[in-house]
Amino acid sequence: EPICNECLLVQHKAPEHQYERLSDAEPREKEELINLMTESKSKMSECEQASMQLENALSELQSQHDQAKDLIVETFQSYKAILEKCRDDALNELEKLHSERELQVMDTFHNVEKTVEKIEDAC
């Protein structure tokens, strides 16, 4: 009796054609299928655990990013405040020096004018 489509066309026998009765193969194949399903469920559990770990890692990464960003902004603000104070101190020192020199020049200018007046009076 033909077992497969090739059996209808040509005569072939073992080892070219190996077959087994369904009633004999069913328990073994069913057991194999059950084992594969159990293994798949186990791997699914492992995948879910890995997924949770990755989700936690992603959350931790975002947290570290936010902390680093805040630290960068805070450090920038600190340096900015220091630079602004240095700028203000330098501008104040510049104004002080300018006023002192301006007074010296004006005093010298006044002395020169007095000297010129004395020379004119003497002539």
Averaged over successive runs of 10 residues, the pLDDT of the chain (123 residues) comes to 65 67 88 95 94 98 99 99 99 98 97 95 86
Rounded to two decimals, the pTM is: 0.55
State the Cα–Cα distance between residues 44 and 9, nearest whole angstrom: 45
Q: 70 is written with which tokens?
A: 């805040």
DSSP 18: -
Domain extent listing, the chain: 5-122
State the Cα–Cα distance between residues 71 and 77, nearest whole angstrom: 10
Q: C-alpha distances in angstroms, 103 versus 38, 48, 93, 95?
A: 97, 82, 15, 12
Query: Using an 8 Å Cβ cutoff, are 12 and 6 in contact?
Result: yes
Q: C-alpha distances in angstroms, 85 versus 80, 90, 92?
A: 9, 8, 10
Output the pLDDT for position 1: 56
